Structure 1
Amino acid sequence: MGNDEKKTFARLMQYAGITINGDRPFDPRIHNDGFYRRVLTQQNLGLGESYMEKWWDCTALDQFITKILQTNLREHLKKDWATALQVLKAAAFNLQRPGLAFRVGEIHYDIGNDLYERMLDKRMQYSCGYYKDADTLEEAQRAKLDLICRKLALEPGMEVIELGCGFGGFARFAAENYRVKVTGYTVSKEQAKFARQYCKDLPITIHLEDYRKATGSFDRVVSIGLMEHVGCKNYRTYMKLANQLVKADGIVFIHTIGSNVSNITCNPWTTKYIFPNGMLPSMAQLSKAMEGLFVMEDWHNFGEDYDKTLMAWHDNFVRTWPELKQNYSDAFYRMWKYYLLSSAGGFRARSMQVWQMVLTKPGRPCPDTRIS
């Protein structure tokens, strides 16, 4: 049986131009023959966990993932039990309900600001940079923030609410450069602590609360990297809330990773180890959620830039690991490398996108959103 599983896996790899134990950077080197059965039966979960457990290695893991996704090998495999279980759970339960809102903060965003300070840019932007006219991570992240502010048509004195404010990078950039007031919401204790210190002496207020607790009336509503945690059962709830928060002549802006297809769950490895209860929205899901509430003014895709962003994060992470390893395990190192490199491979294969959307209420004069 074991030899048959090895042959089956090898045949699948041939579709992608990959050779087991080959000499090219994207060829995987297998150290444990249990790898073949594990991946064939558990797919994404088995592939990621076996990498964490050193059952296999790959010099260019990002290239390996890219080639697999471009070949669409999943069509040759049956759904694994872990994915089926995730789908069943997602269909039966609201995994992003308010009672679970703080879980992703505790498990992912609170693991240590020392990690994020070394991996990210100086503004602590934990979302895709904009590389159109940028060469470095710092330049790309500043360009992303300025692009957002220009799409929002910010003017001095405006009041902005940011649902999912992260480490406060956008809030500080907008307040300093466009002289606006910002109210931010996050479910991460460490992000809130960092953001409050980072944004002190500026007209910025940070709330450690679920975004659904937000109230008030604002000129602009912004979400950068929140929609991935909202969940399909809550997309309409989010849109209704944004509609309530924004003034009649205001603008709503959403920056999110997007999926090419509609799903109700996420990659089981990512869900288990990186973003609990995360979910990537599709165009169809978001369009349905905003129907009757907003006019879509602009929908901009620059998903290829997340490949560059993730590779820059990976390089920073590996370079500064000697400073970090006293606080993190070797297993964490392999888990985090797999997260960053497999994600980069996913964007390179175009299986995921990065969308920026500009929305207005029906009846509002058309703003100039043709900015890219």
Structure 2
Amino acid sequence: MADAATRLATLAEDLLGSPLSVRLRAWDGSEAGPPGGPVLVIRDRRALRRMIWRPGELGLARAWVAGEIDVEGNLYEALDQLSGFIWERGGESGGLLSSLRDPRIRAAAGELLRLAGPLPPPRPPAEEVRGRSGGRHSRRRDKQAISHHYDVGNDFYALVLGPSMVYSCAYWSEAGTLEDAQRDKLDLIARKLALKEGDRLLDVGCGWGSMAIHAARAYGARAVGITLSREQAAFARKRIAEEGLTDRVEIRVQDYRDVPDGPFDAISSIGMAEHVGAERYREYADLLHGLLKPGGRLLNHQISRRPEPDEEAYRVDAFIDAYVFPDGELAPMGRTLTTLEDAGFEVRDVEAIREHYALTLRRWVTNLEKEWGRAVRLTSPGRARIWRLYMAASAVAFERNRIGVNQFLAVRTPASGASGVPLRPREWTE
């Protein structure tokens, strides 16, 4: 197989109708494409078989997780350059790889078949989600999905997230560490919720307990944190005991649909609503509204996507669904706001902070790369590669405004109309 890189580059350029933006190195040692930038390395032609048999992101993802393709050089730059090849083509969704099924280019795909060889691809990597059971977003299936993502080891997450153990967008100032920015995010939420001594806070999707601990320690609140991850709950309970806060903070392994002991003065939901699903979102909003006292506040911190011209055509990202967040879904910001209002909330403030998430993700990637050997030992080579790719690709997506993240402050406003929100609410950010 002489000069495989040149043949691949020619094929890609014919299909793209433009020069290749990234250099290629093939399994035979050949190279093609522009020099001086990142290099897409195809270590094994089994990667091509995966892409032929499963066109689109999933075939490419399987090759990445298996280590059959890699990037040398700046990963962010490579992902940015390859975005049209993978995700977009002429404004259409899907990208070039998904178009390999198009009859117009089957002749070109024949060359890819010759390069790939006649054998079928190997089995998908072990890290891929298998055996989902129960209806989509049923209690049983949601628990399986959460376990897949979060029960991969608290030590691994501590390596990536750092001492704050907060797995959501930080809130950055001009300077400061990741831990500073995460502390500032938790404090911003506490202030938006107007927490005070003795308030009952429900933290939905509490993770490793950081918001509940901050609310109790800094504001004297009594917090209940709920999660479906047993590993998260065990870690959070240990932290709470070490902080001497067991009389103020309770952590439960519990579905948000099963909380029996409202009402609460405030509810925080930080990076959890992405797991709810479009068909369950109104139920989610109704339940949280019902769990609040009149005058109580909800802070809903949630990733959003750009609206689609045809919303019926929206599809969950194949790589994310198979390897990262099974059954996770993103909604446009406007739909979230409307659903909260339909449930009876008065939405008083929306703060868009997508650039903050790009900065956060880049810090997490740096943490992972600095401790790569340990990360592999704590999980697996494939799992470490998944986290590196998804966090780096997500950083690029936030930077390019493909996705965003927003904080919605909503109030269960009483019949009197007295919301309790200050006349100049943004003073909480000063």
**Partner residue of 1:220 out of 249, 253, 266:** 266
Q: Could you tell me whether the CA contact under 8 Å between 2:171 and 2:181 is conserved in 1?
A: yes
Which amino acid in 2 is paired with 1:210? D
Task: Indicate whether 1:9 and 2:12 are aligned.
Answer: yes
Distance 1:308 1:39 in 2: 32
Question: Which has the larger Rg?
Answer: 2
Distance 1:44 1:23 in 2: 26
Task: Indicate whether 1:281 and 2:331 are aligned.
Answer: yes
**Partner residue of 1:204 out of 246, 249, 264:** 249
User: Corresponding residue for 2:408?
Assistant: 357
Q: Which 10-residue stretch deviates more, 71-80 or 351-360?
A: 71-80
- Report the secondary structure of 2:238's partner residue: helix
Aligned counterparts, 1:6-155, within 5 A: 7-10=10-13, 12=16, 14=18, 17-20=21-24, 21=32, 22-33=34-45, 35=47, 38-39=50-51, 42-58=55-71, 59-69=73-83, 73-74=88-89, 75=92, 77=96, 95-155=136-196
Aligned-residue sequence identity (percent) comes to 31
TM-score by length of 1: 0.88
User: Corresponding residue for 1:89?
Assistant: none
CA offsets 1:231-283 (integer angstroms, 9 cap, x no match): 00111011101110111111111111111125664211111111111111212
Distance 1:163 1:80 in 2: 40
CA offsets 1:291-328 (integer angstroms, 9 cap, x no match): 33111111111111212211111111122233343333
Distance 2:78 2:191 in 1: 38
Which amino acid in 2 is paired with 1:73? E
CA offsets 1:201-232 (integer angstroms, 9 cap, x no match): 32001110111111310110110010110100
TM-score by length of 2: 0.77
Which amino acid in 1 is paired with 2:164? R
Which amino acid in 2 is paired with 1:51? W
Distance 1:143 1:344 in 2: 20
Distance 2:323 2:100 in 1: 17
Distance 1:158 1:147 in 2: 17
User: Corresponding residue for 2:117?
Assistant: none
Segments of 4+ moved more than 6 angstroms: 2-5
Distance 2:17 2:358 in 1: 23
Distance 1:359 1:14 in 2: 48
Which amino acid in 1 is paired with 2:67? K
CA offsets 1:23-57 (integer angstroms, 9 cap, x no match): 34444233345656755762221222222223322
Q: Which 10-residue stretch deviates more, 2-11 or 135-144?
A: 2-11
Distance 1:80 1:247 in 2: 52
Q: Which structure carries more relative contact order (alpha carbon 8 Å, separation 6+)?
A: 1
- Report the secondary structure of 1:354's partner residue: strand
Distance 1:301 1:146 in 2: 17
Which amino acid in 2 is paired with 1:23? P
Distance 1:134 1:354 in 2: 21
Distance 2:341 2:285 in 1: 9
CA offsets 1:184-213 (integer angstroms, 9 cap, x no match): 110000001111111123200111011111
User: Corresponding residue for 2:219?
Assistant: 178
**How many residues get paired?**
361
Instruction: Give how far 1:123 is off.
Output: 2.2
**Partner residue of 1:308 out of 352, 355, 359:** 359
Instruction: Give how far 1:5 is off.
Output: 6.9
- Report the secondary structure of 1:28's partner residue: strand
CA offsets 1:49-95 (integer angstroms, 9 cap, x no match): 2222233222222222234447962425485799xxxxxxxxxx952
Q: Could you tell me whether the CA contact under 8 Å between 1:313 and 1:340 is conserved in 2?
A: yes
Q: Which 10-residue stretch deviates more, 50-59 or 256-265?
A: 256-265
Q: CA RMSD in A?
A: 2.7
Which amino acid in 1 is paired with 2:41? R
Distance 2:351 2:11 in 1: 41
Which amino acid in 2 is paired with 1:350? N
Q: Which 10-residue stretch deviates more, 216-225 or 353-362?
A: 353-362
Q: Could you tell me whether the CA contact under 8 Å between 1:183 and 1:205 is conserved in 2?
A: yes
**Partner residue of 1:334 out of 373, 380, 385:** 385
Q: Could you tell me whether the CA contact under 8 Å between 2:153 and 2:379 is conserved in 1?
A: no
Which consecutive unaligned segments of at least 5 residues does structure 1 have? Answer: 83-92
Against the structure 1 CA distance between its residues 321 and 19, is the aligned structure 2 distance closer, same or farther, given a 3 Å change threshold?
A: closer
- Report the secondary structure of 2:197's partner residue: coil
Q: Which 10-residue stretch deviates more, 48-57 or 22-31?
A: 22-31
Q: Could you tell me whether the CA contact under 8 Å between 1:5 and 1:36 is conserved in 2?
A: no
Distance 1:16 1:284 in 2: 37
Q: Which 10-residue stretch deviates more, 323-332 or 153-162?
A: 323-332
User: Corresponding residue for 2:114?
Assistant: none
Q: Which 10-residue stretch deviates more, 178-187 or 309-318?
A: 309-318
Against the structure 1 CA distance between its residues 326 and 185, is the aligned structure 2 distance closer, same or farther, given a 3 Å change threshold?
A: same
